[in-house]
Homo-oligomer: A and B are copies of this chain.
Amino acid sequence: MTATSIKHAPSDVEEVRQAFYKDIARDDLAALWNVMGNFVKPEPDGPAKPALWNYSVVREHLRTAGELITAEEAERRVLILQNPGLPGSSLITRSLFAALQLVRPGEIAPCHRHSQNALRLIIEGGGAFTAVNGEKVYMEPFDLILTPAMHWHDHGNTTEQDVVWLDGLDLGIVQLFEASFANHFDGKVHPETRPAGDGFVRFGNHARPLTGISDYDTTRYGLYHYPYKQWCATLEQMRSDAPDPRHAHMIEFTNPTDGGPVLDTISCFAQLVPGGMSTKSARSSDGMVGTVVSGSGAAIISGERFKLTEKDMFIVPSWMPLELKAEADLTIFWFSDRAAQKKLGLWRSA
């Protein structure tokens, strides 16, 4: 490509440019033409689509998977909620992963840890445990359980019934930053380091241990368990407020050591929309994964209506307006990457 190239007639301009593009591509260069528009948009306009997974449908698939997959392979008995707008991605938004896992009686998972932050919302069954850094947390339906980055975790179902939970992870975020580290524990199960439920009593009572196995100066976490019984009580208490027109009654779960989001990258929320209420349209730049904990109604996402029944999961992509219609009192658990967006100065709502 030389300066003389451009002396061609205007009709040749495009041809000349195409030759130039090829030329520079060999040197790992690309021209900006049209590219910026893919990134710098007046408003979020990503490929993720709104979608809902009806729990009875998913549950039937889980049942089948429970038969197809042996106990030895149980780790793989996970059905990923893949966004229909992100085929092949295994993700529910560009940043987040959501999946349903079935754990059958007697199954135990090997202990490991990784840079990815994870949350677990129990959907069915009670009495199984997740162990975090060697502390067992026993689960009941709709409890939230955390396994923050680089915390050892394993789980076991020592009950006689199936357990189903929702896993939420920041897989897309850690991948973007190419910052994944992981280890397998040397031994299938982490030794018990503390009594079961220890952190809940130790960190969950508005105090910080100054002595013992938890050292304040190095511990940013201590509470891994947010029981449904407790967060539900908070929402019930909020019925004494006039419902917010857009959000009705809503809380964000917090880390008691700093009052911030429960995980470094993921925020969790719970919402109560009283029966009969329709919320006004609201939107935010974090794509939000919802799970219907109880009640029924509908979600209108960017104008598309999704019927909501118990235990359904659904995704409201970034910046898409959401309205909720509650028939019976509607309780929804949400998670999103709001924690990360706020830290990076990116989060917006309207």
Seen from chain A, the residues whose Cβ lies within 8 Å of a Cβ on chain B are 1-3, 5-6, 13, 16-17, 20, 23-24, 27-33, 35, 38-46, 48, 51, 53, 57-58, 61, 63-65, 67-68, 75-84, 90, 93-95, 97, 99, 114-116, 149, 169, 171-183, 194-195, 198, 201-202, 204-213, 216, 223, 226, 230-231, 233-234, 237-238, 240-244, 247-259, 264-265, 269-270, 285-287, 317-319, 337, 340-341, 343-348
Contacts and interface: CB of A to CB of B under 8 A. Distances in A.
Copies in the complex: 4
B208 A254 contact: yes
A9 to B, nearest CB: 14
Nearest to A175: B39
A42 B149 CA distance: 13
Contact of A226 (B78, B206, B270): B206
Nearest to A94: B176
Residue of A95, A149, A172, A174 most packed against chain B (CB within 10 A): A174
A61 to B, nearest CB: 5
Contact of A78 (B31, B75, B242): B31
Given A17-B68, A179-B346, A53 B28 contact: yes
A249 B208 CA distance: 11
A205 B204 CA distance: 8
Contacts of A149: 345-346
23 contacts: A3-B63, A20-B64, A27-B57, A28-B82, A28-B83, A29-B58, A29-B79, A32-B75, A32-B78, A38-B175, A39-B180, A43-B181, A44-B179, A45-B180, A46-B178, A173-B176, A177-B337, A178-B317, A179-B286, A198-B237, A207-B253, A207-B270, A265-B344
A182 B39 CA distance: 10
A205 B226 CA distance: 8
A202 to B, nearest CB: 6
B176 A31 contact: no
Contacts of A63: 3
Contacts of A80: 29-32, 35
Nearest to A345: B264
Given A76-B31, A256-B259, A41 B182 contact: yes
Query: 9 tightest CB-CB pairs across the interface, nearest first?
Result: A212-B241, A178-B318, A32-B78, A211-B244, A264-B345, A207-B251, A46-B178, A179-B346, A201-B237
B178 A27 contact: no
B40 A182 contact: yes
A46 to B, nearest CB: 4
A81 to B, nearest CB: 7
Contacts of A46: 175, 178
A209 B238 contact: yes
A178 B61 contact: no
Contacts of A250: 209-211
